[in-house]
Amino acid sequence: MATCGHLDQIAEVTPSSPGCEDCLATGRRDWVHLRVCQECGHVGCCDNSPGRHATGHFRTVAHPISARPARGPREALRSGRGRARGDA
């Protein structure tokens, strides 16, 4: 079975921003989902978002792996997709 040659590039990263770094820099907050670069921590919006900044980051710096940011109870509440334990 073949394995991905990029796995050695995954690092323990700290997200660079609470939202899409590039959207926030221009005053926009219209992203759909976020992606965190697993090599440097850059936060960009997904390809379903108008800015498609995660792909733009890949094209600029050639960091090939991104993932969804970890979601805690507060993020779930902000996105409207869930509730923190104990909320009615």
pLDDT digits 0-9 by tens, 21-31: 999 999 999 99
Question: What burial class does residue 31 get, using C-beta atoms within 10 Å of its C-beta: 0-12 exposed, 13-18 middle, 19+ buried?
Answer: buried
Residue 86 in any domain: the answer is: no
Number of domains comprising the chain: 1
Domain enclosing residue 54, as ranges: 10-79
Tens digit of each residue's pLDDT (9 = 90 or more) over 49-79: 999 999 999 999 999 999 998 865 444 334 4
- CATH number for 73: 3.30.40.10
> In the structure, what pLDDT confidence band is assigned to residue 84 with cuts at 50, 70 and 90?
very low
pLDDT at 86 over 70: no
Q: CA triplet 54, 46, 33: central angle to 5 degrees?
A: 125
For 9, the token pair is 């590039």
Residue written as token pair 């805690």: 72
3-state secondary structure of 45: strand
pLDDT for 2: 73
Does 61 fall in a domain? yes
Mean pLDDT over the full length of the chain: 81
Query: What's the CA angle centered on 77, arms 22 and 12, to 5 degrees?
Result: 55
* In-domain check, residue 66: yes
